Amino acid sequence: MQGDGTAALAVAHRCWSRLEDGLNLVAAAAIFFLMFVGVFQIVGRTVFDTAIYGYIDYMEQASALFAFLGIAYAQRVGAHIRMDLLLRGFSLRFLWSMELFCVVVALVIITVLVDSTFQNFLRAWQLGDSTIDIKLPVWPTKLIVPFVLTVLWVRLVLQSIDYARLIRNPLATPVAVPVIETIEVQAQNEIEEALGREASGREERRP
């Protein structure tokens, strides 16, 4: 049964990772597009004495894309800022327990935020809220926030299940949680990567 549960968790992790990867790609594309539009705006105002109508409103609304779409992806790969200095030297079971505690706290907070942000979207929808300059509807942007937080909520549930599994068996292979490397392991990986690039460079320079 444990093997079946782990296999089901792995399948859910892979399927949900595809959605997170897609949202992260959209966020990256949004950053690139906003940079392009920003350059066009500057060049247009400086050289051609023209500007994009409603530029500020568009930027304000589009900022939600790159601000929120990559949250679940960052949680999955462990890219958020961490303070794990105090956890060094403890057993794996204690480490997994602390990780589970943090994820459960985050899960409670995200649950509250999903409800409050969805209510915020409903108010904007019902009142017809819009931007000041060009009267751009703001409900699509406000709908993005509870949607992305829901994606993050599911990711936290998957991680909670995996951390609970790792607490029971600390030596098991992590499935849906990031593997946090120690400083020593990170340094060793960087050294091996640098030596690998150096060796590859020498092979390319050989006649």
Q: Distances in Å between the alpha carbon of 78 and those of 58, 71, 94, 203?
A: 31, 10, 18, 35
Structure tokens at 134: 């060009």
pLDDT of residue 150: 95
Tell me, yes or no, whether 185 lies in a domain: no
Helix, strand, coil percent values for the chain (each to nearest 5): 75, 0, 20
pLDDT tier at 6, thresholds 50, 70, 90: confident
Tell me, yes or no, whether 190 lies in a domain: no
Tell me, yes or no, whether 136 lies in a domain: yes
pLDDT of residue 125: 87
Q: What number is the average pLDDT over the span 31-43?
A: 83
Tell me, yes or no, whether 204 lies in a domain: no
Tell me, yes or no, whether 15 lies in a domain: yes
Tell me, yes or no, whether 22 lies in a domain: yes
User: How many separate domains does the chain show?
Assistant: 1
Tell me, yes or no, whether 91 lies in a domain: yes
Q: Which residue has the tokens 């091996």?
A: 192
pLDDT of residue 197: 52
pLDDT of residue 175: 85
Q: Distances in Å between the alpha carbon of 184 and those of 108, 135, 191?
A: 34, 54, 11
Question: Are 168 and 2 a contacting pair, CB within 8 Å?
Answer: no
Supply the range of the domain harboring residue 134.
2-178
Tell me, yes or no, whether 195 lies in a domain: no
